[in-house]
């Protein structure tokens, strides 16, 4: 929409709200704010600026859509604006601190409010952040106590399914591994136990050999055949599922846990092994990811709750990218970076990693799975005179606690442009380049950017599934901004999950 139209609409929204606020005026307070219902604002705009209103309706269909679409800053001159429910308004701590005051009139709960307040960032005190950090850690410890037994059961289920699959495909070199968040143990108690059938990767150069290799493993996708073997090891309610991109078997283990088994052609497992390597580097990463997963689940901001939203995989890449490249003092290095020198023969990078052959744009191409497994992080002032065996020391100057990192994470991703691209692969400039028009471009850590440029097929295959829809990103950003504001006003972690 034309800048002048947007400007006129927002200017009118602010002026109307200041002149018609329904919040009590508090003369003792010099912080300025004003509130109107979205409904009255809508009616007024329609009459006062009809031409601009019509253009807006043509493009966005409602005033709410228009206001939410302005997710870049939600600012107009010195004002910040938000749309909130009555419930959110009543619970908002800014109200308690008098920057927003009590409403003069009774408003039905179904109404939404348009609020504006002056552009000054709330102060975050050390004390607030410490409380926040403690509340994240308390949640994390509780969640892990609950999950410890479940993880043990999950590993036992994997062993059972592994036996069944080896039996079913005794002539092939196959095994079963936990995949997705079951592999990194970042999932929740009621999540599916995700498993993948793995087989050795092909790393040759001959097209004929590759075709034979594919043919040899075709049988692994016969999920009716697999179901029969799963039933033989005692699995209940086994049924094959055929979706657009994958075939899988869903079943229930006698322990009561629901499981999903699919064929992993290598990349699921390899990506999660990379994530696991990162999780080992710093003790703040796992609780931070878990906290963000929990927040996203409570707010229904993930794909498992709503199609079109970010996947857990996307969240992990976003968090690692932020910790690696978007802080003044990074928490972690990029372990795919070739400029890290190491001399440890056991390191995967030193060993040249693993090569996997795939077909992109009808040609055989190689995917290089290569990263350092030798890195150990030491704090700047920590003594590291005695270097650990087989470790490359990387010095970290980051001293942020969990609370600060969570607030900074929400702040960083409160801007739409920070989603394109999100890339944790090699720290070169090319990986910072966006090459699709996806609202969130979550780049694959292993598939070279050149392949994306060669073929749209690769883009569809590796980005679309990881990214999210435009409207979903708007809602996600909106919730991030709201959560950051609440945390900055001294709220605890559980508060932002319940808003
Ligand atoms: Zn290394």
Task: Please tell me the distance between residue 266's alpha carbon and the centre of ligand 1 in angstroms.
Answer: 22
Task: Please tell me the distance between residue 390's alpha carbon and the centre of ligand 1 in angstroms.
Answer: 9
Residue 171's domain is classified under what CATH number?
A: 3.30.460.10
pLDDT at 333: 94
Q: Which one of 69, 102, 120 terminates a domain? A: 120
Task: Please tell me the distance between residue 415's alpha carbon and the centre of ligand 1 in angstroms.
Answer: 35
Task: Please tell me the distance between residue 323's alpha carbon and the centre of ligand 1 in angstroms.
Answer: 20
Q: Which one of 62, 95, 120 terminates a domain? A: 120
Task: Please tell me the distance between residue 107's alpha carbon and the centre of ligand 1 in angstroms.
Answer: 62
In a domain, 281, yes or no: no
Identify the segments of the chain with pLDDT beneath 50.
428, 458-460, 463-464
Task: Please tell me the distance between residue 183's alpha carbon and the centre of ligand 1 in angstroms.
Answer: 23
pLDDT at 159: 97
Task: Please tell me the distance between residue 374's alpha carbon and the centre of ligand 1 in angstroms.
Answer: 4
C-beta of residue 34 within 8 angstroms of C-beta of residue 6: no
Calculate the alpha carbon distances from 237 to 159, 170, 189, 259, 439 in Å: 19, 24, 20, 11, 39
pTM: 0.75
pLDDT at 256: 92
In a domain, 362, yes or no: yes
Contacts (Cβ under 8 Å, ≥6 apart) of 392: 340, 341, 342, 344, 347, 372, 374, 375, 376
- 150 and 48 part of one domain: no
Task: Please tell me the distance between residue 299's alpha carbon and the centre of ligand 1 in angstroms.
Answer: 39
Task: Please tell me the distance between residue 443's alpha carbon and the centre of ligand 1 in angstroms.
Answer: 23
Q: Which two tokens stand for residue 125?
A: 């005190």
Tens-digit pLDDT profile for residues 98-141: 667 778 778 887 889 999 887 555 566 776 889 999 999 999 98
Task: Please tell me the distance between residue 329's alpha carbon and the centre of ligand 1 in angstroms.
Answer: 22
Contacts (Cβ under 8 Å, ≥6 apart) of 385: none
**Pairwise CA distance, residues 274 & 425, whole Å:** 11
In a domain, 290, yes or no: no
- 74 and 131 part of one domain: no
- 90 and 202 part of one domain: no
- 63 and 208 part of one domain: no
Task: Please tell me the distance between residue 303's alpha carbon and the centre of ligand 1 in angstroms.
Answer: 35
- 481 and 346 part of one domain: yes
Q: Which one of 241, 268, 295 terminates a domain? A: 268
Number of structural domains in the chain: 3
Exposed / middle / buried, residue 466 (Cβ in 10 Å: 0-12, 13-18, 19+): buried
pLDDT at 176: 97
Task: Please tell me the distance between residue 267's alpha carbon and the centre of ligand 1 in angstroms.
Answer: 21
Task: Please tell me the distance between residue 381's alpha carbon and the centre of ligand 1 in angstroms.
Answer: 23
Task: Please tell me the distance between residue 333's alpha carbon and the centre of ligand 1 in angstroms.
Answer: 12
- 384 and 473 part of one domain: yes
């Amino acid at each position: 929409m034309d800048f002048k139209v947007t400007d006129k609409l927002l200017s009118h929204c602010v002026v109307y709200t200041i002149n018609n606020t329904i919040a009590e005026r508090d003369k003792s307070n010099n912080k300025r704010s004003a509130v109107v219902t979205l409904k009255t604002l809508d009616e007024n705009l329609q009459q006062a600026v009809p031409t601009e209103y019509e253009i807006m309706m043509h493009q966005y269909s409602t005033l709410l859509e228009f206001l939410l679409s302005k997710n870049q800053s939600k600012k107009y001159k010195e004002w910040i604006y938000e749309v909130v429910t009555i419930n959110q308004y009543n619970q908002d701590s800014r109200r308690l601190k008098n920057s927003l005051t009590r409403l003069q009139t009774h408003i039905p709960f179904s109404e939404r409010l348009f609020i504006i307040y002056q552009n000054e960032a709330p102060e975050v005190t050390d004390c607030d952040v410490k409380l926040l950090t403690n509340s994240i850690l308390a949640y994390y410890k509780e969640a892990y106590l609950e999950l410890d037994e479940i993880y043990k059961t999950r590993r036992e289920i994997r062993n059972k399914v592994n036996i069944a699959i080896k039996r079913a495909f005794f002539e092939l070199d196959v095994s079963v591994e936990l995949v997705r968040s079951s592999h990194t143990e970042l999932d929740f108690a009621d999540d599916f136990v995700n498993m993948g059938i793995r087989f050795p990767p092909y790393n040759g150069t001959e097209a004929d050999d590759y075709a034979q290799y594919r043919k040899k493993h075709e049988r692994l996708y016969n999920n009716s055949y697999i179901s029969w073997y799963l039933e033989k090891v005692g699995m209940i309610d086994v049924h094959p599922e055929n979706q657009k991109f994958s075939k899988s078997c869903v079943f229930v283990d006698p322990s009561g846990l629901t499981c999903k088994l699919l064929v992993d052609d290598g990349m699921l497992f390899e990506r999660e092994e990379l994530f696991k390597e990162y999780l080992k580097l710093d003790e703040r990463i796992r609780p931070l990811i878990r906290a963000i997963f929990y927040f996203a689940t409570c707010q229904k901001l993930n794909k498992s709750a709503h199609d079109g939203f970010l996947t857990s995989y996307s969240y992990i890449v976003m968090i690692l990218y932020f910790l690696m490249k978007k802080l003044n003092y990074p928490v972690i290095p990029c372990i795919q970076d070739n400029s890290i020198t190491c001399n440890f023969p056991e390191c995967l990078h030193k060993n040249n990693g693993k090569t996997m052959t795939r077909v992109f744009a009808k040609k055989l191409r190689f995917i290089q799975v290569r990263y350092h497994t030798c890195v150990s992080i030491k704090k700047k002032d920590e003594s590291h005179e005695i270097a650990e065996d087989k470790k490359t020391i990387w010095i970290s100057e980051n001293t942020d606690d969990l609370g600060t990192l969570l607030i900074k994470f929400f702040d960083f991703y409160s801007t739409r442009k920070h989603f394109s691209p999100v890339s944790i692969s090699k720290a070169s400039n090319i990986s910072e380049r966006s090459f699709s028009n996806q609202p969130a471009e979550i780049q694959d850590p292993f598939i070279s950017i050149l392949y994306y440029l060669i073929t749209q097929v690769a883009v569809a295959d590796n980005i679309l599934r990881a990214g999210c829809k435009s409207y979903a990103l708007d809602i996600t950003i909106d919730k991030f901004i709201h959560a950051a504001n609440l945390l900055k006003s001294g709220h605890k972690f559980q508060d932002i999950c319940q808003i």
